[in-house]
Chain A
Amino acid sequence: MLRYSLKRLLSLVISLAVASLVIFFVIEVAPGDPASFMLGINAQPDTVAALRSELGLDQSKVERYLSWVGGMLQGDFGTSYTYRSPVSTMVADRLWVSLPLAIYALALSTLIAFPAGIYAAARRGKAGDMAVMGATQLGVAVPNFWFAMMLVLIFAINLRWFGAGGFPGWDKGVWAGIHALTLPAIALALPQAAILARVMRSALLDILGEDFMRTARAKGLSRRQALWRHGVRNALIPVLTIIGLQFSFLLAGSIIIEQVFYLPGLGRLVFQAISSRDLIVVESVVMLLVFAVITVNFLVDLAYAAVDPRLRSRT
């Protein structure tokens, strides 16, 4: 287990290093100089030069890459070009919206998908299965931001159960925060739940065909007991993988969903930064998201290597 963990840790570090290089390179080749953009077209050349050296833009690429990565390792994400405030505090503020939203959505998605997938597998080929599978086909085809708009139309505008958008802040109470994140979380969760339910169903169907399931029945367990004690537990391994992968979809998806609900999360920060060409913010937020995704996948790998020793010898 230790050898496997170290091997995976090494590949995690390599992935992060390569990812940071790619992101830095993409931002580097971006047309336009942030200093001249900030000062406008009428700026004097020496003012631009002064700002460039203040922002560190006159250093060599290698120096700038190293100071960016070195800074991030110490929690310093640089200084925003437009707001002149540390990117790390801007990100930290927004993270308190985006992260709870992604976790909320993940919880909802799991809560919907598990029962639906297990139910469909248990009734394979019957009407209940058909209904669940039909619903998941539809769920996969619905763009989440459109679904979000429909939720706003029904539950915010017509029924007035929720606000149409915005976020009160956690200092207004945990309940108010959760209330404001409910519609966005549902919008994010349902399409993911459709995928998860399909995976749960097919994983469970694979298990149901195994010999040990027949043995379980033969030793006197009822269908239901065998399903829960031996089926669902074994089906969890492929399902866990997908949950890990979904975290990245949820984070990326929250960027779009935040636009629908005017939530002050990372997504809005990124789009504001894009429109003001505040590239240091874009660079750092994207790196942070990639870091989160790669790390979560790493943890999922470790988690099921711990659960299933057979996986350690593979890869």
Chain B
Amino acid sequence: MSRNLILGAMLSSLVVLAALVSFVWTPFDYTAMNIPGKLQTPNATHWLGTDHFGRDMFSMIMVGARTSIAVALVAVGIGMGLGVPLGLAAAARKGSWLDELIMRGNDLVFAFPSLVIAILITAVFGAGAINAIIAIGIFNIPVFARITRGAALSLWEREFIMAARVAGKSATRISFEHILPNVLNLLIVQGTIQFSLGILAEAALSYVGLGAQPPTPSWGRMLADSQTMVSFAPHLALIPGCAIIVTVLGLNLMGDGLRDWLDPRLRVARA
């Protein structure tokens, strides 16, 4: 295992742990306002200080991790859940109208600037975490469809698939029993990368007010709130920003590390 993988996994699990612990414990109630104690810089009681309503930043960051992870996780789930079967189907019927349709549809979604369409979707159907998930999720579908199809196509040429066909298995069964387990590594690596992109997209959407709505804390939302106060309370902007960077950095390092670890051929090439 590389240093990247270990460091990435440590950073990512730190964030996931914070999100999980926030369900049972946060230092303070993240909604509790305390106007006299507002805008405190980090200190012994409030480890990361307080915001303009006197809410505890540490607690808000913990609960915000929950929002970010939930949105990104479900968005990756949508992408995998729909993209992987589409990719498998396209590869199983290579060159057919189905393959052609799936790939052209993919090209089309890739041609759209994802953030613009996410803005369109959330603008039309209303701001909120659910619509943000759908908007981000849609753009994960072609990513997973393409990567699955590419890997599956080369697998279909192999002897063990031929053996399964001779044994009389249907294309669907072969796809799920033999192809899918063999592309799983690739999907895990891509999933990690899409997860980190999802965190960034959620932050951007929440920043412009189209993501999670108050009082649900979200890192993007906290940054938007901090903008007018950045000159006299920079910690309000620094802390959620660092939370996003640590999460995304951790996931990216983990993705890179996993790729090297799961594919030994790359170890030499990338060294």
Chain A contact residues, CB within 8 Å of chain B: 11, 15, 18-19, 23, 26-27, 29-31, 125, 137-138, 140-143, 145-146, 149-150, 152-153, 157, 248-249, 251-253, 255-256, 259-260, 270-271, 274, 279, 282, 286, 289-290, 293-294, 297
Which residues on the A side are within 8 Å of B226 (C-beta)?
A: 149
B248 CB–A CB distance under 8 Å: yes
Show 23 A/B contacts (Cβ-Cβ < 8 Å), sorted by A: A15-B111, A19-B112, A29-B124, A125-B271, A138-B245, A138-B249, A141-B244, A142-B241, A143-B204, A143-B207, A143-B241, A146-B245, A149-B226, A149-B237, A150-B238, A152-B230, A253-B115, A255-B119, A271-B208, A274-B119, A282-B123, A286-B116, A286-B119
Measured CA separation A19–B110 after assembly (Å)? 11
Measured CA separation A297–B112 after assembly (Å)? 11
Closest 8 CB pairs of A and B: A252-B115, A141-B248, A252-B113, A141-B249, A146-B241, A30-B124, A274-B123, A248-B113
Question: Total number of A-B contacts with CB less than 8 angstroms?
Answer: 112
Max chain B Cβ within 10 angstroms of own Cβ: one of A142, A252, A293: A252
- Whether B204 and A297, one on each chain, are in contact in the complex, defined by CB atoms closer than 8 angstroms, is no
Interface string of B91-127 (1 = CB under 8 A from A): 0000000000000000110011111110111011100
If A19-B111, A149-B230, A256-B207 touch, whether A289 touches B116 (CB-CB below 8 Å) is yes
Distance (whole angstroms) from the CB of B12 to the closest CB of chain A: 12
Measured CA separation A176–B237 after assembly (Å)? 28
- Whether B207 and A145, one on each chain, are in contact in the complex, defined by CB atoms closer than 8 angstroms, is yes
| 8 Å CB contact of B208 from A27, A146, A256 | A256
If A15-B111, A274-B123 touch, whether A146 touches B230 (CB-CB below 8 Å) is no
Measured CA separation A138–B253 after assembly (Å)? 10
- Whether A146 and B244, one on each chain, are in contact in the complex, defined by CB atoms closer than 8 angstroms, is yes
- Whether B252 and A141, one on each chain, are in contact in the complex, defined by CB atoms closer than 8 angstroms, is yes
- Whether A260 and B113, one on each chain, are in contact in the complex, defined by CB atoms closer than 8 angstroms, is no
- Whether B123 and A149, one on each chain, are in contact in the complex, defined by CB atoms closer than 8 angstroms, is no
If A145-B204, A150-B241 touch, whether A18 touches B116 (CB-CB below 8 Å) is no
Max chain A Cβ within 10 angstroms of own Cβ: one of B113, B124, B200, B271: B113
- Whether A282 and B249, one on each chain, are in contact in the complex, defined by CB atoms closer than 8 angstroms, is no
Interface of B, secondary structure class, is helix
Quick one: closest B residue to A290, CB to CB?
A: B112
Quick one: closest A residue to B107, CB to CB?
A: A15
Interface string of B208-228 (1 = CB under 8 A from A): 100000000000100100110
B75 CB–A CB distance under 8 Å: no
Which residues on the A side are within 8 Å of B244 (C-beta)?
A: 141, 143, 146
Measured CA separation A29–B271 after assembly (Å)? 52
B231 CB–A CB distance under 8 Å: yes
- Whether B111 and A293, one on each chain, are in contact in the complex, defined by CB atoms closer than 8 angstroms, is yes
Quick one: closest A residue to B231, CB to CB?
A: A157
Measured CA separation A190–B107 after assembly (Å)? 27
Max chain B Cβ within 10 angstroms of own Cβ: one of A18, A145, A251, A293: A145
B203 CB–A CB distance under 8 Å: yes
Which residues on the B side are within 8 Å of A248 (C-beta)?
A: 113
- Whether B245 and A141, one on each chain, are in contact in the complex, defined by CB atoms closer than 8 angstroms, is yes
- Whether B125 and A30, one on each chain, are in contact in the complex, defined by CB atoms closer than 8 angstroms, is yes
Which residues on the B side are within 8 Å of A11 (C-beta)?
A: 107
Which residues on the A side are within 8 Å of B114 (C-beta)?
A: 252
Max chain B Cβ within 10 angstroms of own Cβ: one of A141, A152, A290: A141
